[in-house]
Homo-oligomer: A and B are copies of this chain.
C-alpha cells in the first residue's frame, strides 16, 4: 500500500494559512516558532512545496529581486485548506521517543558518575537557554494576540515551558544523586584499602 504517513506537507500548509511565504521563509519560521516540537529541513521543504503545487494545494508566484535569487512565494488554495482540515481530523500519533541522554544515563554504571553528571549539566544549560527564548516568544504571541491562532500558539508554548521546568527539577535531583553515588564509590574503594592494611 505504502500510504503516506508523514505530516511534513501539512506543516507547510498550516504555516501558509498565516501568510503566503517562500520556502526559505518557511524554514526560518519553523526554526523560530515551532522548532521546540517540530523540525523540517530544506531538503524536505523544497521538494514538498513542489509536490503541493503540482497537486493544486498551493499556488506559486515568482518575485524578481535585484542582486539576490528570485523568491518563489507560495499561497495556500481552498483545496489546500481542505487537506489541512482533513489532516487535523486524524488522531495525532504519539512520537517514538529516542532520548540519547536517557540511554547513556541508563547505562551509566559503565561510565564514571562525573561523565554522566556533565551530560546532565549540559542539558540544564541548553534547556535554560531555551526557556529564555520561550519568554521572548511569549511576548511575540502577546503582540499578535488578535490572531485567531494566538491562544493555540500560547498553549503549545506552555507545553514547552512546563516540560522544561520539570526537566530542570529532575536535573537538580539527579545531579545530587550522582554526586552521592560518586562519594559512595570513593568510600567503598578507600574502605577496601583500609581492610588491606588491617589484614597485614
Task: List the interface of chain A (C-beta within 8 A of B).
Answer: 7, 10-11, 14, 17, 34, 36-39, 81, 84-85, 88-89, 91-111, 115-116, 119, 122-123, 126, 148-149, 151-153, 155-156, 158-159, 162-163, 165-167, 169-170, 173-174, 177-178, 181
Q: Determine the residue in chain B with the shortest Cβ distance to A173.
A: B158
- Report Cα–Cα, A69/B194, bound state, in Å: 52
Chain B residues in 8 Å Cβ range of A38: 97-99, 102-103
> Quick check: A155 and B167 within 8 Å, CB to CB?
no
Chain B residues in 8 Å Cβ range of A104: 88, 92
> Quick check: A109 and B152 within 8 Å, CB to CB?
yes
Q: A7-B103, A111-B88 are in contact. Are A39 and B174 (CB under 8 A)?
A: no
Interface of A is mostly: helix
Q: Other than A37-B98, A95-B97, give 9 A-B pairs with Cβ distance below 8 A.
A: A7-B100, A7-B103, A37-B99, A38-B102, A85-B111, A89-B111, A107-B149, A155-B177, A163-B166
Chain B residues in 8 Å Cβ range of A96: 39
Chain B residues in 8 Å Cβ range of A162: 166-167, 169-170
- Report Cα–Cα, A149/B169, bound state, in Å: 22
> Quick check: B106 and A95 within 8 Å, CB to CB?
no
Q: Determine the residue in chain B with the shortest Cβ distance to A169.
A: B162
Q: A89-B115, A99-B37 are in contact. Are A106 and B163 (CB under 8 A)?
A: no
Q: A122-B91, A151-B181 are in contact. Are A81 and B103 (CB under 8 A)?
A: no
> Quick check: A110 and B88 within 8 Å, CB to CB?
yes
> Quick check: B39 and A106 within 8 Å, CB to CB?
no
